[in-house]
């Protein structure tokens, strides 16, 4: 057999080996003295985008070295040279004094549209949803990039590092919907509208934190935490500094890994859904400075067990905590002029109405409570029994709505007294038991 025939057989064998590892995109052989060589193949099912690093290609390359004796081996220690620009590209793979050139097509990662002014561009889409790093350029096609469209980064679950250029004029968390794994976020120091600090982006004009991420530490100069600023992020611990006066709507909504929140002593308002659906949050201490809570501010926090409400709150509505069904400790600051707590019940001083209860509540029997407020035990699935004192004159709508494990209701009064209590629609809807035990008999419930 001739020398050339042997070489051909080795090449055929190598091609068969490579094809079993990945889909062969392209390969080129450079022989050293006609004996040594490297073979490079690329898994063409993986798209390459401009902005990808050469190192990011390595998991999709197979480089095989064949020595003078014809023995092949897969190698990991090799160099790659080249530039990944949109269109037809090639890279050079080098091992020892051998090299192989691989050609392929590079697709664009970022899509831009010209704005109505014809003088600037908007980023409208990120194609590579698996890219760990994206930089929004300041300039595209010779014109400034001034906007990022809503949902441009939608579903970029692998995105960890984000850099934003100097000409972006408006930012919204909606641009990064379901991109929950961002760990580092920065904006160009030359941007006149925003600055970045501690992995937060802050609007200069009013010191509103508009965008945070998993590793954010809220700076001490932030005044407002903007709407949806951390929505859906994987942040674990949050300290709201004393500079902040307002926490915006849905600011931390659906932060599934959020375990701890410290609220500064200047926060006056916690808006609707601010901490809703934070399913690992176990306790919250609402500082004395807070005067207003929005609907579902701590709603659907299924692990929430301890709630402390400060002296500043002048209106407490059960809807603040709707769906947080595992609360077992309720406390109101003794300095609160409108509300107080007794036996894990929050009671309005002037009216004697129980406005909020939990699964550990015991309604006081000293005559201080005369009505059970609307929705006060709404959805409290941990509540299994309740004793209602004879001082109660009114049970408001949906007071025990969907307390589906409430199997025992006791009334410390007669059947006649029970029947005289004003009961509003749905007060016991979804309750397990269908009877009330009174001092002189039982009453059936509808």
Q: Is 391 left (phi over 0), alpha (psi -120 to 50) or beta?
A: alpha
Q: What is the pTM of this model?
A: 0.80
49-70 burial, b if ≥16 CB within 10 A, otherwise e? bbbbeeebbeebbbbbbbeeee
Q: How far apart are CA 283 and CA 412, in angstroms?
A: 33
Contacts of 116 (CB under 8 A, 6+ apart): none
Tokens, residue 143: 């014109």
- With H, G, I as helix, E, B as strand and everything else as coil, classify residue 304: coil
Q: How far apart are CA 295 and CA 274, in angstroms?
A: 9
Strand order in the sheet with 329-332: 283-286, 306-309, 329-332
Q: How far apart are CA 18 and CA 193, in angstroms?
A: 52
Q: Are strands 61-66 and 37-42 parallel, antiparallel or unpaired?
A: antiparallel
In order along its 446 residues, the chain shows pLDDT tens digits of 444 433 333 333 333 333 333 333 444 444 445 578 888 888 877 778 777 778 878 888 899 988 888 889 998 888 888 877 777 778 888 888 888 887 877 777 888 899 999 999 999 988 888 888 899 999 988 999 999 998 889 888 899 999 999 999 999 888 887 788 999 999 999 999 999 999 999 999 999 999 999 999 999 999 999 999 999 999 999 999 999 999 999 999 999 999 999 999 999 999 999 999 999 999 999 999 999 999 999 999 999 999 999 999 999 999 999 999 999 999 999 999 999 999 999 999 999 999 999 999 999 999 999 999 999 999 999 999 999 999 999 999 999 999 999 999 999 999 999 999 999 999 999 999 999 999 999 999 98
Sort 76 into a burial class: Cβ within 10 Å, 0-12 / 13-18 / 19+. Answer: exposed
Sort 100 into a burial class: Cβ within 10 Å, 0-12 / 13-18 / 19+. Answer: buried
């Amino acid at each position: 057999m001739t020398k050339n025939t042997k070489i051909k057989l080795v090449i055929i064998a190598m091609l068969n080996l490579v094809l079993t590892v990945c889909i062969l995109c392209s390969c080129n052989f450079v022989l050293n003295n006609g004996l040594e060589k490297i073979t490079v193949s690329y898994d063409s099912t993986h798209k390459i985008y401009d902005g990808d690093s050469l190192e990011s290609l390595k998991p999709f390359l197979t480089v095989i070295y064949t020595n003078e004796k014809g023995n092949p081996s897969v190698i990991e220690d090799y160099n790659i040279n080249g530039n990944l620009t949109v269109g037809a590209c090639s890279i050079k793979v080098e091992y020892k004094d051998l090299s192989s050139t691989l050609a392929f097509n590079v697709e664009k990662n970022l899509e831009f549209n010209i704005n109505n002014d014809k003088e600037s561009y908007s980023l409208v889409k990120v194609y590579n949803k698996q890219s760990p790093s994206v930089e929004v350029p300041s300039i595209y096609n010779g014109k400034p990039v001034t906007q990022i469209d809503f949902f441009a980064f939608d579903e970029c679950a692998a995105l960890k590092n984000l850099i934003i250029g100097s000409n972006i004029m408006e930012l919204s968390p909606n641009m990064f919907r379901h991109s929950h794994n961002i760990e580092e976020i920065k904006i160009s120091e030359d941007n006149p509208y925003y600055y970045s600090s501690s992995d937060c982006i802050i609007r200069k004009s009013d010191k509103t934190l508009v965008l945070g991420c998993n590793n954010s530490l809220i700076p001490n100069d932030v005044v407002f935490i903007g709407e949806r600023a951390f929505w859906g992020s994987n942040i674990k611990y949050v300290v709201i500094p004393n500079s902040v006066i307002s926490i915006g709507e849905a600011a931390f909504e659906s932060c599934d890994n959020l375990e701890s929140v410290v609220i500064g002593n200047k926060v006056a308002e916690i808006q609707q859904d601010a901490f809703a659906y934070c399913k690992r949050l176990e306790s919250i201490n609402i500082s004395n400075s807070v005067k207003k809570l929005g609907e579902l501010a701590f709603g659907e926090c299924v692990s929430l067990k301890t709630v402390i409400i400060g002296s500043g709150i002048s209106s407490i509505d059960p809807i603040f905590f709707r769906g947080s069904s595992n609360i077992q400790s309720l406390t109101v600051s003794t300095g609160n002029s409108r509300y107080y707590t007794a036996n894990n019940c929050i009671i309005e001083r002037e009216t004697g109405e129980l406005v909020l209860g939990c699964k550990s509540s015991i309604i006081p029997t000293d005559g201080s409570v005369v009505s059970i407020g609307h929705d006060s035990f709404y959805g409290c699935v941990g509540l299994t029994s309740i004793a209602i004192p004879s001082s109660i004159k009114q049970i408001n709508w949906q007071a025990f709505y969907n307390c589906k494990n409430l199997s025992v209701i006791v009334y410390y009064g007669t059947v006649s007294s029970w029947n005289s209590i004003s009961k509003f629609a749905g007060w016991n809807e979804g309750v397990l038991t269908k009877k009330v035990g009174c001092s002189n008999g039982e009453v059936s419930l509808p």
